[in-house]
Structure 1
Amino acid sequence: MLLALLLCYLGFTALCLSTDRHHGELLHSKPSPKRRLVLRLGGWLLLIVSIWPAVRVIGWSQGLVEWCAVLMCSALLLVLLLPYRPRLALILAGVSLLASPVAAFAAL
């Protein structure tokens, strides 16, 4: 479930960075139309791919339920961090990006 959590957090962070407001707060610039499109597509792709580790471990019936829980937890974490610790939210996204291959390798 760790891999699903990391992928969900990365996906939500990418979707968050695709907006002008959050991109400006975190990266101090406005996203170009191409970057906005890449962040949106990447965010949705990461959220879709995050279903795979949850379903692979437990099965479709319980895996989807746990994936929904992981989805809500990662979104809640990001929503709570953005107003108070926006830099920490960005740092956690970087850590998630680096830890995802390790978690994928450990899940095999």
Structure 2
Amino acid sequence: MLLALLLCYCAFTALCLAMPRHHEELLGHKPSARRRQGLKLSGWLLLGLSLWAAISEKGWSFGLVDWCAVLMLSALTLVLLLPYRPRLALTMAGLSLLASPVAAWALN
């Protein structure tokens, strides 16, 4: 479930950065339309990959339940970090994106 958690957190951070308000708050400038589209696309792709990771690890029945739990945990973490530690939220997204290949390798 670690891989699904890492991918979900990255996905929610990308979807968060696709919003002009959060992008300006975290990075200091408004995103271009092309960047917003890229962030939305990558966020949704990462959510799809996290679903695949959860299902491939535990099967359809338990994988979907675990994926819903991972979705809630990663969203809650991001929502709690954004107002108080916005830079930590970005740092954690970068670290989880870097750690996800290691978690994928550990599955095999």
When normalised by structure 2's length, the TM-score is 0.98
**Which position in structure 2 is the counterpart of 1:12?**
12
1:107 matched to which residue of 2? Answer: 107
Deviating more after overlay: 81-90 vs 46-55: 46-55
Would you say 1:88 and 2:88 are equivalent positions?
yes
Structure 2 gap ranges (5+): none
Query: Deviating runs (4+, > 3 A) in structure 1?
Result: none
User: Equivalent residue for 1:32?
Assistant: 32
Offset of residue 49 of structure 1 = 1.1
Partner of 1:75, secondary structure, is helix
Deviation at 1:53, TM superposition (A): 1.3
Distance 2:45 2:52 in 1: 12
Secondary structure of the 2:31 match is coil
Mapped to 2, the partners of 1:24 and 1:106 lie a distance apart of: 36
Residues 6-35 of structure 1: CA distance to partner in whole angstroms, max 9, x if unpaired?
A: 000000000000011110111101100000
- TM-score with structure 1 setting the length: 0.98
Q: CA deviation at 1:67?
A: 0.4
Q: Paired residue for 1:23?
A: 23
Q: Within 2, Cα distance between the matches of 1:97 and 1:80? A: 19
Q: Which amino acid aligns with 2:48?
A: I
- In the alignment of these two chains, the number of paired residues is 108
In 1, Cα distance between equivalents of 2:33 and 2:57: 38
Alpha-carbon separation, structure 1, partners of 2:53 and 2:12: 17
Counterpart of 2:29 in structure 1: which amino acid? S
More moved, 84-93 vs 48-57: 48-57
Query: Equivalents in 1 of 2:49, 2:56: separation in Å?
Result: 11
Q: What amino acid sits opposite 2:84 in the alignment?
A: Y
Q: Which runs of 5+ in 1 are unaligned?
A: none
Aligned letter for 2:12?
F
